[in-house]
Amino acid sequence: MSSMVLVVDDESLIRWSVQERLRQQGLQVSEAENAATARVALQENPDLVLLDVGLPDANGLQLLEEFRAAAPDTPVIMMTGDSSAETAVAAMLAGAHHYITKPVNLDELALICGRALETSRLRRELRAVHEKSASDYGFDHIVGSSPAMKEAKTLMGKIARSPASTVLITGESGTGKDLAAKAVHYNSERRDGPFVNITCSALPDALLESELFGHEKGAFTDARQQKKGLFEQADGGTVFLDEIGEMSPILQAKLLRFLEEKTFRRVGGNQDLKVDVRVIAATNRDLKEEVKTGGFREDLFYRLNVLTVELPPLRERVGDIPLLAEYFAQRFAEEFRKPVRGVDKEGLKLLTGYSWPGNVREFRNAIERAVLLCERDRLGREAFSTLGKGGALRDDIELPAEGVNLEQLERSLVEQALERTSGNQTQAAKLLGLNRDQIRYRIEKFGLSR
């Protein structure tokens, strides 16, 4: 469907000339000879408005302000016989997309209209994306009615509405810290700003610093051009720092300076840059213990720990499992076009009796697999036949008569622990009853660092 352009001008010849030229571009055109008819025509939601400054019943600049308030995504091009700079400046300050003087060059006007319509299309698409994101990450998408989850969601709502610049989200791996961060962002006044995220354990220090703060051309060997970091890119929005507990002490100090002063320097730069961002940090570590052992800066911890949301593990909110089962079963049934309508009693009994060391992430994956393979309308006990396999060893396990390769068994357990915790060494160590040094030794020993 072609775009609609509204031409507002009291001169019929100008309206006719512009209409004929724009129709050659494949555009639909509607006309208004004064402000009164223009206000009515605006209700048809045109994609672009061409507006004369001098109308018989209103000042075009005042009408421009009305249009911008009523339809902020619709660009307005001002037309006038007054070539003075003051009028042009006033139009641009009032929000005009462009300003052209009469007599109008119709070919130039057609080109300007094409660019303005592209801008209009991009604005509408961006707004649609933001609206969909706000819908997808509403607090109702964080499933759970247990007291702990109700408390967490209530706190997230208060934080989202607050001007707080730092937020800390804690919880075991798989509890949904990334979803909580997005919910806070998309339900805040920053929702129209960027949401950028990075996992602090995913990159070495030098690359992580460059990703966060950016770098100047020539700052290091491969810095062939200037690069804006995530803090610059997220100006007006939110930066989500996942696994903040894995950040090195040097970067912790630079992050603290940024949080305190809201200024930073690109790597290799000497100019202080200022941005307005909210920083949401997340960790599955106990930062208080990390502070005691020297693994995390005390001053940074207190700076982050102003507003803290703690997400409970799934084993501590078993009452939410039926709700989660219904939610994910319906979601994946729609996605995979399967006739699954939920989980039966025996299936729920199995799900509620399992400890879920991988929390909601593991639960989601189990339901997804079950829906994919199910040929019935209900997920029964057999749909979760692999649940818990590869997990913790039972106390009553007996050595097979033929024996085992102990080193091979150890490697397999380390691999399974890393896989279950998405590569998080701290959580993998907990599953195996090891400390960080012991798990790292085995990772190097078996060549599992990749």
pLDDT digits (tens, 9 = 90+) for 115-157: 999 888 887 777 777 666 666 778 878 899 999 999 999 999 9
This prediction's pTM: 0.65
Starting at the edge strand that comes first in sequence, how are the strands of the sheet with 98-101 ordered?
28-32, 4-8, 48-52, 76-80, 98-101
- Flag whether pLDDT at 433 surpasses 90: no
Predicted confidence at residue 390, as pLDDT, reads 44
Model confidence pLDDT, tens digit, residues 195-211: 999 999 888 888 899 99
Look at residue 314 in the predicted model and tell me its pLDDT.
Answer: 94
Determine the residue type at 191. R
Residue-wise pLDDT tens digits, 366-403: 999 999 988 889 999 999 887 765 444 444 456 677 77
The pair of three-digit structure tokens given for residue 65, joined into one six-digit string: 């302000």
Please state the rounded mean pLDDT for residues 59-87. Answer: 85
Sequence-ordered list of residues with C-beta below 8 angstroms from that of 279, at least 6 positions apart, any chain? 165, 166, 167, 238, 239, 241, 259
> Over the stretch 25-35, which tens digit does the pLDDT of each residue have?
899 999 999 99
Q: Which domains does the chain have, with CATH numbers?
A: 4-132 (3.40.50.2300), 140-310 (3.40.50.300), 314-384 (1.10.8.60), 406-445 (1.10.10)
Give yes or no for a contact between 212 and 230, defined as CB atoms under 8 angstroms apart: yes
